[in-house]
Amino acid sequence: MLVNRPAIGIDVAKNFCFYTAVSPTCTTFLKPFRALNTKQGLLFALGQIKKVEEAFSSKPVIVLESTGHYSQRIVHFFLKQGFEVYHINPLISHSIKNSVVRKVKTDRVDALELAKLLFVQAFRPTTMPKEQLANLKVLTRARGHLVEQRAKSVNQLQCAIEQIAPLFPSVLNPGSLTALTLVSKFPSPCEWIEKANHKAIMDMLETLPRKGKSYAQEKYATLVSCAEDAQITGIPLAAYASTIRCFASVVQSLDVQIKVIDDQIKALSEQLPEVALLRSIPGIGDTLAPIILGEIGDIER
């Protein structure tokens, strides 16, 4: 818990924050004020906080709730200024604040209550992460979002394919490189059995999976059977062919972006011995180790 130091409570919103200060005796010293999350607004808030520091001859601590990416910039700003910052999980802060019946719920009140939190419970201060670890966290989270988008797009692609050729997913995995390349160029089942397309499709089936000519011939025969079945069981709408080509293009584009992110994560991981340490744990591989390190930060802390 906080002893003999003033505290600054910050209630964070997208475009502005409410700031307030309490004295080392947990009494209101600085009435809540609003400042924009701009250069001018942050410097104004910093000036007001400096007055608190001068009044008590002690550097105040900063207290704010985690509000996603809105609060991250505020935390980073005050850490750069040398302040001790407490970035508190809102589930914890709400449970403490709600233990007292609150008659009023405003941003000003929340800022004041946040400032007083450190006087009733001990928290662990937030630290400035190493630049490499911060980059790793951003990259692994971005990769997670891209992978999630890819999974959704593959599902949409498969739904469209099953309408036009129900047996196709049993022939080729719709999210595989071979299937994506095939349906991008030949999205309609009738195109799979056209003699003019036979050589191009055979080349895809032989070179992309890298399983040889016999595999390609067997897979092509299955694909022809799928196309013949589709003439009876499928819905031959041109719109489905267009949709299939569109979703396949989206998945292919996401694959390119995921590869770019993966290369950057790999380059960073080679500079961080902690990644190799995590990989030594059974069940944690090249993908999971950077994600864990990015989320937990410096293992030595």
pLDDT digits (tens, 9 = 90+) for 75-85: 999 999 999 99
Distance between CA 214 and CA 112 in Å, rounded?
73
Site of tokens 């201060």:
125
Over 80: is that where the pLDDT of 108 sits?
A: no
pTM above 0.85, yes or no: no
Distance between CA 283 and CA 257 in Å, rounded?
26
Predicted confidence band at 297 (pLDDT cuts at 50, 70, 90)? confident
Q: What is the mean pLDDT of residues 230-259?
A: 97
Q: From the CB of residue 134, how many other CB atoms can be counted at a distance below 10 Å?
A: 14
Predicted confidence band at 100 (pLDDT cuts at 50, 70, 90)? very low
The pLDDT value recorded for residue 97 is 54
For the chain, the average pLDDT equals 91
What angle (nearest 5°) sits at the alpha carbon of residue 121, between those of residues 118 and 125? Answer: 60
Closest-CA residue to 140 (of 288, 296, 301): 288
Q: What is the mean pLDDT of residues 44-68?
A: 93
Question: Using alpha carbons only, how large is the chain's radius of gyration in Å?
Answer: 29
The pLDDT value recorded for residue 121 is 82
What angle (nearest 5°) sits at the alpha carbon of residue 238, between those of residues 236 and 240? Answer: 80
The pLDDT value recorded for residue 105 is 53
The pLDDT value recorded for residue 288 is 94
